[in-house]
DNA sequence: CGAGAAAGCTATTGGCCACTCACTAACTTT
DNA sequence: AAAGTTAGTGAGTGGCCAATAGCTTTCTCG
């Protein structure tokens, strides 16, 4: 397998592991095991652990961006909104790790900034802005709509991270089309 | 100093340290140093590191709950909403670590649940429900209002964690009264 | 004062983990 | 077939960290 292909599978494995246990809670060995490769070899493919985390973070935001882009393609206004909400629900149901990874990314950026490392945050913010713009465009460049949509998304992320089961009253005010299934 | 008073200062120090570096990124020695006490002594005050994190998490949610309760006291409807939004802004400005701790708490619960430990999540969910009820009551038991308020709160947490400076376009749709100062 | 309890410390240990080094095996090119 | 490159490994290493054991100091109260 070529180095590039290996890097690709490392990124996928890293998303799974980092989503579950966070940056500091994930050992490079856990990632290597999931890839099916020796742990030292990761350091031939990436300069260090941070680089793996960054690659996983970026991939995750790009994927989410793509989900919104393709869901809203050709639609506008309320139709685009519901299409994106539905797509998000589907993402949550099929790929909850992406969402957990996003949370891990947030706290990792906060920690990095606190430690004086701004490069990581810079990169993540750029990707997040892309996401913001995608939503903004799809919702007819209405700032209020965009903000509310993303706000609901963040609430959903939070409630899911905290493990509130579908049916709990905290879900009662969330758009049906974006709620986790099962309620 | 009595053990109870020490525990109190440990909780405060723990909030600062865990907020900055997360559960796995924070050493018990960092907490002990901040308290001004030897590292092993922490384990006389708390059974283990997890218990310290749990205490810090609960404290943090209780404090936020109290902020909303006292801000909305005697008010209702839009007045209560703006009072709470303003109080949240003040909390953010004066005590950003509380907010970072909340994010850390979220991902810690997610990790604990994934690892099969549901006790921690149970406790945090109970405290979060208290918070939900406080907001719900203050906003006249309007589910939609409550959800939107909390959703905006979560968006603000996320954007602050990611380090978006005041003035960035991602803030443009956030209620003025809840935005970070400086814009 | 004296004794017990509570507060607090030093020293240590066993385990984990990011990262390095030096090597092998297979494939490619000349 | 010689020379070189690329994928990959096994065996460490130094450092950190949660938790324990056992000791000293300080307070309290009869």
CA distances, B164 to each of B53, B134, B183 (Å): 27, 29, 12
CB contact under 8 A, A172 and B143: yes
Do residues B44 and B109 lie in contact, with contact meaning Cβ atoms separated by under 8 Å?
no
Using the CA of A4, give the nucleotide whose C1' is nearest: D7
Phi, psi (rounded to 5 degrees) for B51: -65, -35
Residue B182 CB burial class (10 angstroms; 0-12, 13-18, ≥19): exposed
Task: Give the residue-averaged pLDDT of A43-67.
Answer: 97
Residue nearest to nucleotide D26 (CA to C1'): B1
> Given a cut of 90, is residue A177 above it in pLDDT?
no
Do residues A53 and A108 lie in contact, with contact meaning Cβ atoms separated by under 8 Å?
yes
Instruction: Tell if B38 CB is < 7 Å from nucleic strand D.
Output: no
B25 vs A contacts (CB less than 8 Å) = 23-24, 111
Q: What is the pLDDT of residues B83-120, one digit of tens each?
A: 999 999 999 999 999 999 999 999 999 999 999 999 99
pLDDT band of A181, cuts 50, 70, 90? low
Q: What is the pLDDT of residues A109-153, one digit of tens each?
A: 999 999 999 999 999 999 999 999 999 999 999 999 999 999 999
Count chain A–chain B contacts defined by CB atoms under 8 A.
Answer: 134
CA of B12 to C1' of D29 (A): 33
Using the CA of A50, give the nucleotide whose C1' is nearest: C18
Do residues B38 and A38 lie in contact, with contact meaning Cβ atoms separated by under 8 Å?
no
Among chain A residues 31 through 70, which have CB within 7 angstroms of nucleic chain D?
37-41, 44
Nearest to B111 among A22, A109, A110 (CB): A22
At B36 the pLDDT is 96
At B183 the pLDDT is 46
A116 vs B contacts (CB less than 8 Å) = none
At A31 the pLDDT is 98
Instruction: Tell if A2 CB is < 7 Å from nucleic strand D.
Output: yes
Using the CA of B1, give the nucleotide whose C1' is nearest: C7
For residue B151, give the nearest of A61, A137, A147, A45 by alpha carbon.
A147
Q: What contacts A3, CB < 8 A, 6 or more positions away?
A: A44, A45
DSSP state, residue B39: G
Name the percent of chain A lying above pLDDT 90: 93
At A183 the pLDDT is 47
> Given a cut of 90, is residue B181 above it in pLDDT?
no
Task: Give the residue-averaged pLDDT of A18-31.
Answer: 98
Q: What is the pLDDT of residues B29-48, one digit of tens each?
A: 999 999 999 999 999 999 99
Domains of chain A with bracketed CATH: 53-178 (1.10.357)
B116: left (phi over 0), alpha (psi -120 to 50) or beta: left
């Amino acid at each position: 397998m070529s180095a590039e292909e290996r890097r690709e599978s490392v990124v996928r494995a890293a998303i799974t592991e980092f989503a579950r246990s966070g940056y500091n809670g994930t050992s490079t060995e856990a990632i290597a095991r999931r890839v099916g490769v020796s742990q030292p070899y990761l350091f031939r493919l990436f300069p260090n652990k941070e680089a793996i985390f960054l690659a996983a973070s970026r991939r995750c935001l790009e994927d989410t961006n793509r989900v919104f882009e393709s869901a809203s393609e050709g639609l506008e206004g309320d139709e685009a909104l519901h299409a994106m909400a539905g797509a998000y629900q589907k993402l949550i149901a099929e790929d909850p790790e992406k969402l957990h990874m996003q949370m891990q990314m947030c706290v990792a950026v906060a920690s990095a900034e606190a430690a004086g490392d701004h490069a990581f945050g810079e990169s993540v913010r750029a990707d997040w802005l892309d996401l913001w713009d995608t939503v903004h465009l799809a919702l007819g460049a209405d700032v209020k709509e965009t903000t509310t949509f993303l706000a609901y998304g963040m609430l959903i992320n939070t409630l899911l991270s905290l493990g509130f089961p579908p049916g709990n009253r905290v879900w009662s005010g969330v758009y049906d089309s974006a709620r986790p299934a099962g309620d």
